[in-house]
Amino acid sequence: MGKSLSLMVMNRRFYTLNETASFIFSKIKLDWEKKKLIEALAKKYGISEKKAQCDIKEFIRELRERKIING
């Protein structure tokens, strides 16, 4: 069974992240460099670095749209 993470943000909404999203979010909170995060995601899930980069970019876009992170 995969791990998940629930978040409550300033708008008082709850979001539940799947295992992959939880992994990415936890590394963002630790201020990992983008390249390190891409490499770690690719290795953990057996995907190409290009796919990992696209997935991270999309996830960050969604976090910004929902005002979970700034930037």
Domains and CATH numbers, the chain: 5-65 (1.10.10)
Two tokens at 28? 């963002």
**pLDDT for residue 60:** 94
Give, in order, the Cα–Cα distances in Å from 53 to each of 7, 16, 18, 60: 23, 22, 18, 11
Tell me the mean pLDDT in the region 38-61: 97
Q: Assess contact for 48 and 42: CB atoms under 8 A.
A: yes
**pLDDT for residue 40:** 98
Q: Assess contact for 55 and 20: CB atoms under 8 A.
A: yes
> What is the reported pTM?
0.80
